C-alpha cells in the first residue's frame, strides 16, 4: 500500500463496502482497546500514587479515564447493532481515527508528566506503559490503519524525544529506539494485514455480487423456462408443476379444478392465412381467456392450439367459468380486416380426492376434452365416473388392440362402387374389420381413433394396403380399390414410403389404388399432407378426398390439394330432400366437373337418392343401396350376381 499521507487519511471509509466491514470489526476490538487503556492507565496512576502530585495521580487520570469509560460504554452498547449504513460506518471510522490521535496525545502528555516523578522503576513503568499500550492499541486498530497510524503519530515522536532526553538513565535511549522500531515494524505489518483484509472484503463483495447475479439469472431462466413466449402465459412445464402443487396439498380438495382447452378449427386458419395470423389469433384468444377467466383462474398455453387452466373455485363455479371460456373463444375475432371464427372444447377435472395423482388429474381432463371433441365440440365437458367407464372401455380396447397381430386378427371388407355411366362395378372401398375375442365386433370408427393415438395405425394402414394390392391382382383390370389413410400416416414419411414400396412389389398398376384422406386429416397439417399426397400421386397412385362437406375446408381449398376425386360425405346423400344438402351436393359435383375430378357420392341408401344424384351429374355411387361392405369372397362373387346388378341398373 502506497502511503500518500493526507489523501490516505482522507480516504478513510470512502469505499462503502469496506467501511461497513471495517465498522463491524471495529465494534469487536475498540471496546478491548478502551479496556486496555483503562487498566494500563489505572496501573500507572497507582504505581505513582506515592510519589507524584494528586493532580497527576487522581485528577487528570480521573478525567481521562472518565472520557475513556464513556467511549467504552458507547462501544459496548452498539456492539450488537445491525451493520451500519456506509455513511454511518464512515463517520465512525473518522471519529475513531481522530479519537486515536486525541487519546494518544492526552494519555502521552499525562504519562510524560508522571515520568518526572519517582525512581527508575516508576520511570521504567512509564516507559513500559507507553510502549505496551501503543502496541496493544495498534493491534486493536488493525482494521483501521489510519486510526492506528494517527494514534502512533500522536504518541511516538514526543515519547521518543522524551526518552532520548532522559540523561539520568542511559538505558532509556535504547529502549526508545527499540520501541520505535517495533512500532514501525508493527505498523508495516498492520498495513499489509489491512491490505489483505480489504482485498478479501472486495473479493467477498464480488462473490456476493456474482451470487446475486446468478440468483437473478436463475430466476429469469426459471421464469423463461416456464413461460410461453408467444402469449406470456405459463407453459406446459409450469402447468405440470402447478398441478403437482395442487394435488400435493389436501386443502385443494373440492375447491380446485384443472381444465385443458383445445381450439376447434384453428389449424385451417393457420394453414390458410399463415403462421403470423395464427400467432396473432392465439394471442387474441389468450387475451380473451384472460378477460373472461377471472381472478380464480390461472391460464397456460400448453403448445399449439392447446391451453390449460387451473381454477380455484367450487366445481359449479369452475364449470360456469369453463363454459364462459368456450363461449368467449367462439365469438368472431378480427385479425387485421379478417373475421376469424374458431371454437374451444374444454375438458375439466375436479380435484375431489386427495389420492389423485397429478398425472391422473391431467389425464382425466384430457379424457373429458377428448370426449368433448368427439361428441360435444365447442363445450366444456367435466370428467365423471361414467366418462371414466367410457375411457376405461377405450383403454381396455387399446390394450387389446396393442396385442393383436394386425395381419391375422384384422379382416377387410370391400364395399363396391358402381359407375352408372358404364353401368357396372368399377371397384370398391376396402374397410377394416375387427372382431376381438374379448370385446366382440368393434366398429372401425372406435378402434381406428384409438390406433391413431399410437403407431398401430401405421401397421393397420400398411396391412390394409397390402391386402388391397393382393385383391387387385385377382380383380379385372378396370377395377380399382380405395384404402383409407389417416392424418398421422400423412405425417409419417416412413409409412408413405412403405406404401410406395408395397405398391412397387405388387407390380399392380399403381393407378388402380386410391388413397382416401379426409379433409380434416389433410387440414391438420396441410404442408405435410400435400407433400405426402404429392409423393403418392407422383408414384401413380390416385388421391380421393373423403367425407367432403363435413369438415371446415371451403370449396376453394380443393384446388390447392393434389386430388383426383372427391367423395361427398354420406350425410348429404341421406338428406337430399333438404335444399341445403342438395345444393351443396350439386355445387360439389359441378366443381368436380370444372376441376376435372371424379366425384363419388357415399352413403346412397335408396333408389331415389341414386336417381337424384345421377340427375345432378354424379354417376359414381357407393352405399347400402348398392351393397354393404362385403367379405372379400362375397365381393369377388358379386360381379357374377346378375340380378343384383340389374337391380341397381334399373334404379
Ligand atoms: P368412411 O371412410 O367414410 O367409410 C365409409 C363408411 O360408411 C363405412 O363404415 C361404411 O360401412 C359406411 N357406409 C357405407 N355405405 C353406407 C350407407 O349407405 N349408409 C350408411 N349409414 N353408412 C354407409 P365403416 O366401415 O364402419 O367405417 C367407418 C369409418 O372407419 C370409415 O369411414 C373410415 O373413416 C374408418 N375406416 C374404416 N376402415 C379403415 C381403414 O382401413 N383405415 C382407416 N384409417 N380408417 C378406416
Ligand atoms: Ca373412406
Ligand atoms: Ca367417407
* Predicted confidence (pLDDT) per residue in 97-142, tens digit: 889 889 989 999 999 898 888 888 888 888 889 889 989 988 899 9
Q: Which residue lies with its CA nearest to atom 37 of ligand 1?
A: 431
Ligand 2 centroid from CA 459, angstroms: 18
Ligand 3 centroid from CA 585, angstroms: 14
State the average pLDDT over residues 287-315. 95
State the average pLDDT over residues 609-616. 95
Q: Is the CB of 547 under 6 A from ligand 1?
A: yes
Residue burial 485-495, b: 16+ Cβ < 10 Å; e: rest: bbbbbbbbeeb
Q: Look-up: residue for cell 385443458?
A: 260
User: CA–CA separation, 418 vs 645, rounded Å?
Assistant: 9
Q: Is the CB of 464 under 6 A from ligand 1?
A: yes
* H or E segment to which residue 45 belongs: helix 16-47
DSSP structure class, residue 434:
E
Architecture category of domain 236-383 in CATH: 2-Layer Sandwich (3.30)
Work out which ligand 1 atom sits closest to the CA atom of 604: 18
| Residue in 47, 105, 102, 95 with CA at minimum distance from that of residue 75 | 95
Q: Is the CB of 61 under 6 A from ligand 1?
A: no
The residue extents of the domains of the chain are: 4-208, 236-383, 404-650
Q: Ligand nearest 548 Cα, by number? A: 3
Residue 647 has pLDDT above 60, yes or no: no
pLDDT tens-digit profile of 172-184? 778 888 888 888 8
pLDDT of residue 650: 46
* Mutual angle of helices 456-474 and 444-451, in 10-degree steps: 130
User: CA–CA separation, 16 vs 20, rounded Å?
Assistant: 6
For a mutational test of ligand 1's pocket, the pick from 415, 417, 431, 447, i.e. the residue with the most ligand atoms closer than 8 A to its C-beta, is: 431
Residue 554 has pLDDT above 80, yes or no: no
Residues 6+ apart with CB under 8 A from 53: 117
For a mutational test of ligand 1's pocket, the pick from 444, 491, 513, i.e. the residue with the most ligand atoms closer than 8 A to its C-beta, is: 444
| Mean per-residue pLDDT over the chain, rounded | 90
pLDDT of residue 503: 97
| Residue in 153, 206, 214, 213 with CA at minimum distance from that of residue 18 | 206
Neighbours of 17 (CB within 10 A): 17
pLDDT of residue 641: 60
Facing residues of 598 across strands? 565
Ligand 3 centroid from CA 199, angstroms: 81
User: CA–CA separation, 25 vs 13, rounded Å?
Assistant: 13
**How many H-runs (helices) and E-runs (strands) does the chain carry?**
26, 17
Q: Are 316 and 334 in contact (CB under 8 A)?
A: no
pLDDT of residue 364: 92
Q: Supply 481's cell numbers.
A: 380399390
Q: Which residue lies with its CA nearest to atom 34 of ligand 1?
A: 445
pLDDT of residue 3: 52
Q: Which residue lies with its CA nearest to atom 29 of ligand 1?
A: 445
Dihedral, 328, 262, 381, 347 alpha carbons, nearest 10: -120
Q: Supply 606's cell numbers.
A: 335408396
**429 SS3 class:** strand
Rounded to 5 degrees, φ, ψ at 440 are: 75, -160
Work out which ligand 1 atom sits closest to the CA atom of 485: 44
Residue 39 has pLDDT above 50, yes or no: yes
Residue 36 has pLDDT above 90, yes or no: yes
> 404-650 sits in which CATH class?
alpha beta
**517 SS3 class:** strand
Neighbours of 107 (CB within 10 A): 27
pLDDT of residue 536: 97
Taking the CA of residue 116 as centre, how many other CA atoms within 13 Å lie in the half-sphere pointing to its CB?
Answer: 8
For a mutational test of ligand 1's pocket, the pick from 412, 414, 484, i.e. the residue with the most ligand atoms closer than 8 A to its C-beta, is: 484
pLDDT tens-digit profile of 148-177? 888 888 888 888 888 777 766 677 778 888
pLDDT tens-digit profile of 188-226? 998 899 999 999 999 999 999 999 999 999 999 988 899
Ligand 3 centroid from CA 545, angstroms: 9
Dihedral, 549, 554, 556, 562 alpha carbons, nearest 10: -60
pLDDT of residue 584: 87
Strand order in the sheet with 256-264: 297-303, 306-312, 256-264, 343-350, 380-382
Long-range CB contact pairs, 548-555, < 8 A, 24+: 548/519, 548/588, 549/584, 549/588, 550/518, 550/519, 550/520, 551/518, 551/519, 551/520, 551/523, 552/265, 552/268, 552/519, 552/520, 552/523, 553/268, 553/519, 553/522, 553/523, 555/587, 555/588, 555/591
Q: Is the CB of 568 under 6 A from ligand 1?
A: no
Q: Which residue lies with its CA nearest to atom 11 of ligand 1?
A: 629
Q: Supply 13's cell numbers.
A: 471509509
User: CA–CA separation, 515 vs 542, rounded Å?
Assistant: 6
Q: Supply 369's cell numbers.
A: 376434452
Work out which ligand 1 atom sits closest to the CA atom of 624: 18
Q: How far is C-alpha 355 from the geometric centre of its chain's CA atoms?
A: 26
Residue 640 has pLDDT above 80, yes or no: no
User: 642: pLDDT confidence band, cut at 50, 70 and 90?
Assistant: very low
| pTM greater than 0.75 (yes/no) | no
| Residue in 367, 249, 355 with CA at minimum distance from that of residue 312 | 249
**344 SS3 class:** strand
Q: Is the CB of 623 under 6 A from ligand 1?
A: yes
User: CA–CA separation, 470 vs 430, rounded Å?
Assistant: 12
Ligand 2 centroid from CA 512, angstroms: 16
Max mean pLDDT among 50-59, 181-190, 476-485 falls in 476-485
Facing residues of 343 across strands? 264
Q: Look-up: residue for cell 520505535?
A: 180
pLDDT of residue 556: 63
Ligand 3 centroid from CA 5, angstroms: 98
Q: Look-up: residue for cell 497510524?
A: 149
**314 SS3 class:** coil
Q: Which residue lies with its CA nearest to atom 23 of ligand 1?
A: 603
Q: How far is C-alpha 372 from the geometric centre of its chain's CA atoms?
A: 27
pLDDT of residue 203: 93
User: 646: pLDDT confidence band, cut at 50, 70 and 90?
Assistant: very low
State the average pLDDT over residues 340-353. 93
Q: Ligand nearest 411 Cα, by number? A: 1
Amino acid at each position: 500500500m502506497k502511503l500518500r499521507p493526507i489523501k490516505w487519511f482522507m480516504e478513510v471509509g470512502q469505499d462503502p463496502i469496506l467501511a461497513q466491514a471495517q465498522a463491524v470489526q471495529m465494534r469487536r476490538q475498540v471496546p478491548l482497546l478502551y479496556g486496555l487503556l483503562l487498566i494500563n492507565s489505572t496501573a500507572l496512576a497507582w504505581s505513582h500514587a506515592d510519589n507524584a502530585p494528586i493532580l497527576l495521580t487522581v485528577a487528570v487520570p480521573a478525567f481521562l479515564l472518565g472520557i475513556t469509560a464513556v467511549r467504552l460504554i458507547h462501544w459496548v452498547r452498539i456492539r450488537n447493532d445491525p451493520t451500519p449504513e456506509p455513511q454511518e460506518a464512515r463517520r465512525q471510522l473518522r471519529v475513531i481515527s481522530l479519537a486515536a490521535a486525541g487519546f494518544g496525545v492526552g494519555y502521552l502528555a499525562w504519562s510524560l508528566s508522571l515520568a518526572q516523578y519517582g525512581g527508575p522503576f516508576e520511570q521504567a513503568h512509564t516507559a513500559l506503559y507507553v510502549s505496551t499500550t501503543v502496541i496493544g492499541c495498534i493491534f486493536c486498530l488493525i482494521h483501521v490503519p489510519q486510526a492506528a497510524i494517527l494514534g502512533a503519530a500522536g504518541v511516538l515522536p514526543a515519547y521518543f524525544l522524551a526518552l532520548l532526553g532522559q540523561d539520568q538513565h542511559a538505558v532509556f535511549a535504547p529502549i526508545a529506539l527499540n520501541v520505535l522500531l517495533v512500532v514501525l515494524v508493527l505498523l508495516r505489518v498492520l498495513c499489509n494485514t489491512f491490505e489483505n483484509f480489504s482485498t478479501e472484503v472486495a473479493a467477498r463483495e464480488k462473490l456476493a455480487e456474482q451470487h446475486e447475479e446468478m440468483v437473478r439469472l436463475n430466476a429469469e431462466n426459471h421464469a423463461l423456462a416456464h413461460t410461453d413466449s408467444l402469449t406470456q402465459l405459463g407453459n406446459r412445464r409450469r402447468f405440470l408443476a402447478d398441478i403437482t402443487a395442487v394435488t400435493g396439498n389436501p386443502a385443494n380438495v373440492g375447491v380446485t379444478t384443472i381444465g385443458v382447452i383445445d381450439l376447434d378449427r384453428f389449424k385451417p386458419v393457420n394453414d390458410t392465412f399463415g403462421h403470423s395470423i395464427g400467432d396473432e389469433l392465439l394471442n387474441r384468444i389468450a387475451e380473451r381467456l384472460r378477460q373472461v377467466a377471472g381472478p380464480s383462474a390461472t391460464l397456460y398455453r400448453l403448445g399449439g392450439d392447446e391451453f390449460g387452466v387451473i381454477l380455484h373455485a367450487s366445481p359449479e363455479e369452475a364449470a360456469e367459468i369453463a363454459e364462459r371460456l368456450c363461449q368467449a373463444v367462439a365469438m368472431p375475432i378480427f385479425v387485421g380486416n379478417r373475421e376469424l371464427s374458431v371454437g374451444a372444447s374444454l375438458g375439466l377435472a375436479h380435484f375431489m380426492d386427495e389420492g389423485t395423482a397429478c398425472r391422473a388429474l391431467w389425464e382425466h381432463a384430457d379424457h373429458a376434452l377428448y370426449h368433448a371433441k368427439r361428441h360435444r365440440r365447442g363445450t366444456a365437458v367435466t370428467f365423471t365416473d361414467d366418462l371414466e367407464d367410457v375411457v376405461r372401455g377405450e383403454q381396455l380396447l387399446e390394450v387389446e388392440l396393442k396385442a393383436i397381430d394386425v395381419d391375422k386378427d384384422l379382416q377387410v371388407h370391400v364395399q363396391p362402387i358402381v359407375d352408372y355411366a358404364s353401368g357396372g362395378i368399377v371397384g370398391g372401398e376396402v374397410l377394416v374389420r375387427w372382431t376381438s375375442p374379448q370385446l366382440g365386433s368393434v366398429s372401425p370408427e372406435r378402434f381406428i381413433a384409438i390406433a391413431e393415438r399410437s403407431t398401430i395405425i401405421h401397421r393397420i394402414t400398411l396391412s390394409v394396403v397390402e391386402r388391397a394390392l393382393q385383391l387387385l391382382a385377382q380383380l379385372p383390370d378396370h377395377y380399382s380399390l380405395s384404402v383409407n389413410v389417416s392424418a398421422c400416416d400423412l405425417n409419417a414419411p416412413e409409412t408413405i414410403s412403405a406404401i410406395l414400396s408395397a405398391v412397387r412389389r405388387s407390380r399392380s398398376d399403381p393407378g388402380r389404388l386410391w388413397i382416401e384422406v379426409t379433409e380434416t386429416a389433410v387440414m391438420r397439417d396441410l404442408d405435410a399432407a400435400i407433400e405426402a399426397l404429392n409423393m403418392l400421386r407422383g408414384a401413380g397412385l390416385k388421391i380421393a378426398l373423403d367425407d367432403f362437406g363435413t369438415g371446415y375446408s371451403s370449396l376453394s381449398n380443393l384446388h390447392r390439394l393434389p386430388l383426383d376425386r372427391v367423395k361427398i360425405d354420406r350425410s348429404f346423400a341421406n338428406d337430399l330432400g333438404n335444399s341445403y344438402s342438395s345444393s351443396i351436393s350439386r355445387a360439389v359435383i359441378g366443381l368436380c366437373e370444372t376441376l376435372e375430378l371424379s366425384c363419388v357420392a357415399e352413403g346412397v341408401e335408396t333408389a331415389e337418392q341414386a336417381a337424384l344424384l345421377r340427375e345432378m351429374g354424379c354417376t359414381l355411387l357407393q352405399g347400402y343401396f348398392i351393397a354393404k361392405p362385403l367379405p372379400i369372397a362375397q365381393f369377388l362373387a358379386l360381379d357374377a350376381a346378375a340380378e343384383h346388378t340389374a337391380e341397381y341398373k334399373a334404379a
